[in-house]
């Protein structure tokens, strides 16, 4: 294990401890507030988001319309792959921020349109990330792993721990062949982003809220996606 891989291993351990940590009182209170807020959201807004998530999950599992990067990373080091993923992430994040601000400034209709548009950006980023780290997204099990990575990033503390247990030893895990609980997937994601994205629909502050929400959501996806794939690479090549 070289020095860079050792640093990555240390970073992964710190990240794993954060995931394993029990919910804080603040997190539990926030969850209660989210549940109350959910009841106030108009039904048609909930339906738009739910339908967008449904189509997104179908895209993940069947890979339709996903054009991944063409780089051959088979002979690259982990550091080189990390660099390529970071550069790709910067481009996706910039697009998401501009999109969030633009849609947030456009009122309710355009604000709603940002839900499926942001999902599309996230999914494309995940496919590119998997490819750059050397994993074949044409493989159904790899797309299932990608789906679990998405859930890990955008779920409640309790559900996140259950998802992590499926990912931590993926190559040897029987969960590689599980059927996905689509309803749970949709509800967890919707609940996670509701509060931040609902502010985007408000007049005046919508543009700022949309940009800020997309900024934070993309950062979180980058953190979880890179750690998940690096965890597999380190585990397959070294003992850590």
pTM of the predicted protein model: 0.81
Whole-number Å distance between alpha carbons of 68 and 71: 9
Is pLDDT above 70 for 213?
yes
Per residue in 163-202, pLDDT (tens digit) is 898 898 888 876 666 666 766 777 777 777 655 566 555 5
Distances 63 to 96, 113, 135, 153, 206 between C-alpha atoms, Å = 21, 22, 14, 20, 32
Specify the pLDDT at position 3: 93
Q: Which range (12-26, 112-126, 149-163, 176-190) has the least confidence? A: 176-190
CB-side exposure of 122: number of CA atoms within 13 Å? 31
Is pLDDT above 80 for 89?
yes
Whole-number Å distance between alpha carbons of 221 and 154: 8
Is pLDDT above 80 for 204?
no
Contact 67/203 with Cβ under 8 angstroms?
A: no
> Regarding predicted confidence, which is higher, 122 or 32?
122
**Model confidence at 117, in pLDDT bands (50, 70, 90)?**
confident
């Amino acid at each position: 294990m070289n020095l860079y891989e050792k640093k990555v291993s240390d970073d992964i351990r710190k990240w794993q401890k954060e995931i394993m940590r029990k919910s804080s009182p603040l997190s539990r209170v926030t969850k209660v507030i989210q549940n109350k807020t959910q009841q106030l959201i108009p039904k048609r807004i909930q339906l738009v988001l739910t339908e967008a998530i449904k189509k997104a999950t179908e895209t993940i599992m069947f890979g339709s319309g996903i054009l991944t990067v063409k780089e051959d990373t088979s002979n690259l080091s982990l550091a080189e792959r990390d660099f390529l993923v970071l550069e790709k992430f910067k481009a996706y994040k910039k697009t998401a921020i501009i999109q969030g601000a633009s849609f947030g400034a456009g009122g309710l209709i355009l604000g709603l349109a940002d839900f499926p548009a942001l999902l599309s950006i996230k999914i494309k980023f995940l496919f590119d990330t998997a490819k750059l780290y050397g994993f074949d997204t044409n493989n159904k099990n790899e797309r299932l792993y990608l789906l679990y990575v998405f859930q890990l990033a955008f779920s409640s503390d309790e559900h996140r721990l259950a998802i992590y247990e499926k990912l931590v030893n993926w190559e040897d895990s029987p969960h590689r062949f599980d059927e996905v609980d689509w309803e749970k997937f949709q509800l967890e994601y919707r609940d996670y982003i509701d509060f931040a994205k609902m502010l985007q629909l408000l007049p005046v502050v919508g543009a700022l809220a949309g940009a800020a929400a997309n900024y934070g959501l993309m950062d979180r996806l980058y953190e979880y996606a890179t750690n998940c794939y690096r965890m597999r690479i380190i585990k397959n090549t070294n003992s850590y």
